[in-house]
């Protein structure tokens, strides 16, 4: 049986750092976790695309907790800056599709 966003448990009090959250699977993952109450941190190469993704998520989830960060995994300086941020109680979820 296919999994949907209805299968994702409550994510309140959790932080989800999602790379590539500005489009595609990353965006949908960020949106679904925001719907379930997670504080979502879209980590994207381009700040303007991250801001647009946050705007799109807020259209679907007006009370979403979002804070985007610039992260380019191909840029060692970008990664070094972000590695100092520790994320407690994070969750990674795979294989979910939107219930729409």
52-83 pLDDT, tens digit each = 999 999 999 999 999 888 876 666 655 555 55
Report the CATH number that the domain containing residue 35 is assigned in CATH.
3.40.50.720
Number of domains in the chain: 1
Would residue 71 count as lying in a domain? yes
Residue 23, domain extent: 11-83
pLDDT at 84: 46
Q: Are strands 15-19 and 65-66 parallel, antiparallel or unpaired?
A: unpaired
pLDDT at 46 over 90: no
Would residue 88 count as lying in a domain? no
Would residue 98 count as lying in a domain? no
CB 28 within 8 A of CB 95: no
pTM attached to this predicted model: 0.73
Would residue 19 count as lying in a domain? yes
Would residue 95 count as lying in a domain? no
Would residue 97 count as lying in a domain? no
Query: Buried b / exposed e across 38-64, counting CB within 10 Å, b at 16+?
Result: bbbbbbbbeeebbebbbeebeeebeeb
């Amino acid at each position: 049986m296919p999994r949907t966003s209805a299968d994702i448990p409550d994510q309140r009090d959790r932080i989800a750092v999602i790379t590539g959250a500005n489009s595609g699977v990353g965006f949908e993952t960020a949106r679904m976790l925001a719907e379930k109450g997670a504080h979502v941190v879209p980590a994207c190469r381009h700040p303007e695309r991250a801001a647009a993704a946050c705007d799109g998520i807020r259209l679907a989830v007006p009370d979403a907790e979002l804070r985007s960060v610039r992260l380019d995994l191909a840029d060692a300086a970008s990664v070094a800056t972000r590695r100092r941020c520790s994320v407690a109680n994070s969750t990674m979820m795979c294989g979910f599709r939107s219930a729409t």
